[in-house]
Amino acid sequence: MDTISDQQLKKTIRMARINTYKTDLDVQDKDKWIGTDSASGKTRNFTAQGLANNFNQTGKIGIGGQIPFKSYTAAPNARLAGTISFPGGFGDQTDFSTITDFVFSEESSGGIYVVDYLNYLEDNAIFIYDLSDVNNFAKYNLTSLTPRVSQPGFYDATVVFVEGNGLFSYNTYYGIIEAQSAADKNYVYTQGSASNTWVINHNLEKYPSVTIVDSGNNVVIGDILYNTENQLTVTFNAAFSGKAYIN
């Protein structure tokens, strides 16, 4: 019977040098690597999904209420699930301040159904920011959210730019989160009937900024009179209905 010497056996089971393995930049949930269990000191396989679960459960890098989307700036008839894009597609390097419409996937980039939360964000202020560079961001008022009839699984969102810095770029991951906070109170006022004078009781106890849109979500400029810290009056040249975003 043939036998294998100790030296031959060592050569047989010797692993290749780490720097000879190919680099895989497409990390999947079930991808594995070897590490040490801190409790037992034993060697274990760990997965990308396990690491993500740890981050989510402990809040090491997660932000409550954040929806991650991947930007899409190609042909509109081929937009992908998990993306944020424009109604007409394309638009790489678009200044945040010029954007009035987005198309949101019903799923986040992680494949999670997020429509219920998106519906909650309607009529609220939202932040959109680059997950790799928080200096690239925008704050908008999300004025409407409707299913995209021509493309099931996607929603048309109308936004009004408030402030921000930077550009919307191709193949970038963005986080979307509600901009409301206890330190920055805001109020949405709805003027249901056409009028050229809107008296708004916001009760924010401050002299807030005001953005007005008509029923077609077009920004309208009016004369603002701050009656008190809790009430203001906006006067227009013509009567119309719409909403006022008070921040």
The CATH number for 148's domain is 2.40.30
Q: Is residue 240 part of a domain?
A: yes
pLDDT digits (tens, 9 = 90+) for 79-121: 999 999 999 999 999 999 999 999 999 999 888 899 999 999 9
71 is in which domain, residue-wise?
Answer: 67-178
Q: Is residue 12 part of a domain?
A: no
User: Residue 15 corresponds to which tokens in the numbers above?
Assistant: 């692993």
State yes or no: pLDDT of 205 exceeds 50.
Answer: yes
Euclidean distance between CA atoms 5 and 199, whole angstroms: 93
Domain identity same for 74 and 171:
yes
Domain identity same for 82 and 156:
yes
Domain identity same for 127 and 214:
no
20-29, 136-145, 152-161, 231-240: range with lowest mean pLDDT: 20-29
Domain identity same for 74 and 117:
yes
Euclidean distance between CA atoms 203 and 47, whole angstroms: 50
Q: By C-alpha distance, which of 113, 210, 200, 230 is closest to 160?
A: 210
pLDDT digits (tens, 9 = 90+) for 65-86: 788 899 999 999 999 999 999 9
Domain identity same for 174 and 208:
no
Pairing of strands 133-147, 124-130: antiparallel
Q: What percent of the chain has pLDDT over 90?
A: 57
Distance of CA 242 to the CA centre of its chain: 26
- Around 116, how many Cα atoms within 13 Å sit in the side-chain half-sphere? 3
Q: Is residue 225 part of a domain?
A: yes
